[in-house]
Structure formats: C-alpha cells, structure tokens
Amino acid sequence: MIENAAHILKKYWGFDSFRGSQAEIIETVMQQQDVLALLPTGGGKSVCYQVPALLHEGICIVVSPLVALIEDQVNGLKQKGIKAIGLTGGLGFQEVLTLLDNCLYGNYRFLYLSPERLQQELVRERIAGMPVNLIAIDEAHCISQWGNDFRPAYLECAILRELHPNIPVMALTATATERVREDIIQNLGLKNEQLFKDSFLRKNISYQVFWEEDKRYRLQMLCSEAPGSGIVYVRSRRMTEELSQFLNKKGFTSHFFHGGLSAGEKSDKLRQWLQNKVQFMIATNAFGMGVDKPDVSLVVHYQIPDNLENYFQEAGRAGRDGKPARAILLTNKADKAQVKKQFLNVLPGTAYIKTVYLKLNNYFQIPFGGGEHETYPFHFDDFCEAYGFQYMLTYNALRILDQNSVISLSQEFSRQTKIKVEANKTGLFQYMEKHPDLAEVIQMLLRTYGGVFDFETRINPILLGKKTGKSEQEVLAALEKLKDDGLITLTSQDRDLKITFLMPREDDRAINRFAKEVESYHKIKVENVSHMLNYLNKDTVCRSKQLLQYFGEKLKKDCGVCDVCLKKADRATTSPGLPERILGQLQRAASSSRRLIRLLPDEEHLILQTLRELLEEGKIGINHKNEYILNK
C-alpha cells in the first residue's frame, strides 16, 4: 500500500521518499483510522492528506483558516494537474452552488473551505452528498481555546464527522501543547486516533535573543551576514514600510508586506521574493503561512511576539533546506513594557463588551429582538468618536463578538487615507503664509504624524478634525487642495468595515452566554505573554531546550548553536592575542565597540567578551562619547 503512496509522491511532488512520520501517517489513514499529526513548521503536513486522498476515489474535504493558505494550496494542486476547489470569501450564492455542484459531479479531488463555511446549510447539505474519502483539519490548534489562534467557528468542524461518520479524520498542526491536543481530540470527536509527533527540534537553526537599544543597526549587521533570503517580522504595517525603506537605503533589496496591500501587490512582491529578485521581506506576522521557500537563512523578530506558538512557527520558516540558519529576536527594556501595553492593556472586560454591543445596536437603530442577518456598512472611526471609545479596546471587543458569532465583522478598517508631503519644509512654510486658512490643518498634520516627508503615511481625518475644530469633510477638502497644488500625494480608499448581525438583538443576554469564556481568553493571553517574556529573560538554559519543553518535548543535549550555548562556549574559548589587538587599536584612537568589530578579524562575541574583561581589569575605560579608551 505504501508503495502506491510513494509512486504518487514521486509522480506529483518529485520526491523519492517520505520525511519523518509522513509514511506512517499515510499508512494509518489508509487503514481508515483517525490521525492527530503534530509536525514542525516545514514538516510537510499537506502531503500527509493529499497523497492518501489521491489513492482513493472520491473527494477530500480540507478545512483551513486563511484564504491565503487555501488559495496557495489550490493553486499548487492545479499546477500539478490535480482538480481542486477553494470556497474563499466574496463568492455569491450562485457561485458557491456551482462550485459545490462541481465537487459532486466534476470529479474534483479536493475541496478547501474555511470553518465559517460549515455554518452554511447549503454547504452542509452538499457535503453530505459528496463521495468523501478523507477529512483533513489543518491548523487544528484553532479549535482549542488554549490555542494561540482560537476560532470558535472551528468547532463547526465536528459536523463533518456527523455527515460522514465512517470516513477517517486527520487533524494537523505545527504547534500544540498537551492541553491543546486534548481539546483537538475531544472537539473533533476523533475515535481511536493515532498520535504522530515528530521532534520539533531544528538542529540547523540557531535561536538567539539580542538585547539591543539600536535595533536598526543590529538589523543592518544581521542582514549583511545573511547568505540567503530573509524575513523580518514586525507588528505594524507602518513598521514594515519604515524598515524596508531603511534597508533599501543601506543597499539591501527588500519589500514590505502587510494586509493593507491589494491582491496584485501581494502577489507581485511575493513572486519577486520567491524568485530571489529581492532578498528580504519585511512583513506582519501572517506572512509566510503556506509559503514554501527553502533557502531562508535569516528570520528576525524585530518586536516581541505575543506568544511562543507564533514565534516558534515563524522562526521555523528559516532553514527548510537543512542548511545553517538563524532565528533572531531583537528586544530591549522598552519593548517589554510595550508588549504589556499592546497585548494586555487592550483586553476588554465583559462590561465593556456589553457596552460596545449596546451602542452598536443603537448606532444602527436596531430594535430589541431584531437585526438578525442584516448587514450594514460600518465606519469604525466614526463609531468610536461618537461614543468616546478607545480604538484598540473597541476593536478587540468587536473581534470577541465576531469570534462568538454575535456579529460577523469584515477585516478592513474604515476609509484609508494616506499622504506623503512632496514639498520641502521651506516650500511648505511659504505656502502656509499664502494660505493661512490651511495653515492649521498643515501644522496639526506635521505634529501628529512623523515621517510624512519620507513615505506614505496613513492618517485619520476625524482625529485631525477633532484637533483643529473642523469636520472630517473640511479636513479632506483641505488635503485635496494641498494635493491639487502639488504639495502632497493623497490616496483615499473606502475600506469600511461591514457588520452582519448574526442573531436578534438581546443586549446583555447575548454576551452572558460566553462571559466566562472571555475571562478564560484574557487569562490565556496573560499566560502567553508571560511565557514569551520568560523565554526572553531566561539566558541560562539552551533556547532549543526551552522551546521544546514548552511543547512537551525533552531535549537531552544542548543545541550548541543558540545564544545561551554560544555564551557558555565563550567562557571556555579564547582568541589568541585578542586583548593585545584591542589595546593596539585603542592606542591609536578611542573606539566604539562597533568600530572595533569592523576593524578586527575576530568573532563579535569574543571581542565584546574581551572588552568586558579589560574593563574589569581596569586596563581600559569609557569616555564621555561612550568610546573605549586606554587607561593611563
């Protein structure tokens, strides 16, 4: 049986053999047994269900959480000549009906869909009539409230077992603690499941934490040392653009990538990176899922992630070709404070969620008991301004309402207005003298948004209006005038949220049914941030040991290549003549550590270690410019 699977692997994927537990997983599911597969990032999860599905007549149902993942998988199968369909967003009723009919009568082998689709009666009815040969639940950790990407809609996946009780179910994930694994098994109704867990150890990846005040300089150094492609993860769209601009000015080739780009822009940037036309991708954390690029030699987290699961998965995109690779986390004391502010201080309590829900209904004038399945365009900024709500706290409240199926919330914010000042400062001040009616808006724009001279900056016209005492329309009219006079470039797109109310208005009763879950959700967030900060601070235990222990795996030997292991090796390692070389350089001129690192052929960590020792011995000191000098 496995010989036939190997033939399929060679025919469509070009590989001569399976990796890790792939062959055992495939053989188990071919024997009609349920499977829970825990494979590391890059471990080839999709092959585990795609190969056995092609060995049997019928169609494989695949549940996946992201549109980008679905599109990537479907396109990959089509390129291999395998018929596959993806039910992504934006499809009308008739389009969905046609695609489902194609699955029934068109000899398609794979149907990919999001868990939300399983809430639609039409989809359930059609799947019930399909000749299903396998059910695959990708990113299965999303079904657990203890998972880092919990999505209550994933609980709908259990309906597939009810529709096809005798068909094997395969659940796959790259990140699952013991608690999450139990949830997956219980919530999916897995029966006599076989658990497969490949080691999460990536021997070729050096996990390192650098405490840096000047992170841009360190990023520049890391990029100059990278032999292959790289990914730099940040937490805001603005930061992707800033760092990409910084690296390009330093002579590197890079693109920025975030959710605000059009599909065409994303596709073009991704293609250039995959083809090595640009070396680095500066991206928000969704980037990379399902992207198979083996030669990534460097992954940098420029800001602290909110949990170890995301960090480990993103870091694991390095070194898939088996060559040495680095996963670097840059941080400093200011970052630690920002993490708590960014992730914990914006968690809405039950009372706040109830208030937001009540005002939301009032905003759309929905009567008690009404509103079910009604959809409205939603100006998020205007809503917050109308009720004095804090933006991130309110957005998180809306996301919790969305997660718990009270509303359905689209992912895009309100009108997106971006500007870039093309005039120099002298020209701008001269313009204000001639147009005093516009001076207040211009001055407030410059005070509120830094960097508008350097790159396109997203602004909030409502906020500017509030600060200047003008209406949003007056601010937009002023910006249009500046654009017409050639002082700025201005792009403005309607990107309003759309809200669908999924249940009749019930005020507090709508929230009470999941109030306890909100408390659990907040507790999990606090735990996740705590685990992440503990990882940063613990510099006495091998990084690989720490990460694997978090996922329930014990590593007997230290990895030998992380920053902790390298520091231990430093204590037993010397570079002959290094102290004399440093003293010789300082005899010529006072020098910073950066200059010494550039001038000397020795390893950076050895230079820094030797500088510390020379300071302790009193042979060198530090002057007012923070440079090293010889002590006389």
Give residue 414's pLDDT: 42
Counting residues of the chain whose pLDDT is more than 70, the rounded percentage is 94
* Average pLDDT, integer, range 348-370: 93
- Say if 462 falls within a structural domain: yes
Question: CATH number of the domain that 354 lies in?
Answer: 1.10.10.10
- Say if 607 falls within a structural domain: yes
Using a 10 angstrom Cβ sphere, with 0-12 exposed, 13-18 middle and 19 or more buried, the burial of residue 3 is exposed
Judge if 273 and 386 occupy the same domain. no
Among 336, 359, 391, the domain boundary falls at 336
Judge if 166 and 97 occupy the same domain. yes
Distance separating alpha carbons of residues 497 and 394, to the nearest angstrom: 13
Give residue 561's pLDDT: 92
Judge if 370 and 511 occupy the same domain. yes
Q: Higher-confidence residue: 43 or 364?
A: 364
Q: Does residue 488 have a pLDDT over 70?
A: yes
Q: Which two tokens stand for residue 224?
A: 């100059």
Judge if 96 and 6 occupy the same domain. yes
Judge if 384 and 403 occupy the same domain. yes
* Average pLDDT, integer, range 334-362: 86
Judge if 351 and 420 occupy the same domain. no
Give residue 137's pLDDT: 94
Judge if 127 and 12 occupy the same domain. yes
Distance separating alpha carbons of residues 562 and 209, to the nearest angstrom: 9
Judge if 387 and 518 occupy the same domain. yes
- Give the burial string for 248-281 (b: 16+ CB within 10 Å, else e): beeebebbbbbebbeeeebeebbeebeeeebbbb
Judge if 391 and 322 occupy the same domain. no
Q: Does residue 35 have a pLDDT over 50?
A: yes
- Say if 380 falls within a structural domain: yes
Q: Does residue 279 have a pLDDT over 90?
A: yes
List of residues 6+ apart from 190 with CB closer than 8 A? 34, 36, 169, 171, 184
Distance separating alpha carbons of residues 354 and 509, to the nearest angstrom: 9
Give residue 416's pLDDT: 65
Query: Rounded to 5 degrees, what are φ and ψ at 377?
Result: -70, 145
Structure confidence by residue, pLDDT tens digits, 93-132: 788 888 998 898 888 999 999 888 888 888 999 999 999 9
Give residue 19's pLDDT: 86
- What does the chain come to in residues? 632
Among 283, 311, 336, the domain boundary falls at 336
Judge if 466 and 488 occupy the same domain. yes
Judge if 10 and 98 occupy the same domain. yes
Judge if 383 and 409 occupy the same domain. yes
Structure confidence by residue, pLDDT tens digits, 442-455: 888 888 887 788 77
Secondary structure class of 621 (helix, strand, coil): strand
- Say if 78 falls within a structural domain: yes
Among 445, 471, 493, the domain boundary falls at 493
Distance separating alpha carbons of residues 433 and 425, to the nearest angstrom: 13
End-to-end CA distance of the chain: 79
- Say if 531 falls within a structural domain: no
Q: Which two tokens stand for residue 454?
A: 């350097």
412 — pLDDT class (breaks 50, 70, 90): very low
Question: CATH number of the domain that 285 lies in?
Answer: 3.40.50.300
Structure confidence by residue, pLDDT tens digits, 580-594: 899 988 988 898 888
Structure confidence by residue, pLDDT tens digits, 122-136: 899 999 999 999 999
15 — pLDDT class (breaks 50, 70, 90): confident
Q: Average pLDDT of the chain? A: 86
Q: Does residue 66 have a pLDDT over 80?
A: no
**Domain coverage including residue 424:** 416-493
Structure confidence by residue, pLDDT tens digits, 321-335: 889 999 999 998 888
User: Whose CA is closest to 403, among 535, 567, 522, 568?
Assistant: 522
- Say if 86 falls within a structural domain: yes
- Say if 550 falls within a structural domain: no
- Say if 561 falls within a structural domain: no
Q: How many domains does the chain have?
A: 5
Distance separating alpha carbons of residues 397 and 387, to the nearest angstrom: 14
Structure confidence by residue, pLDDT tens digits, 170-212: 999 987 788 888 999 999 999 899 999 888 889 999 999 998 8
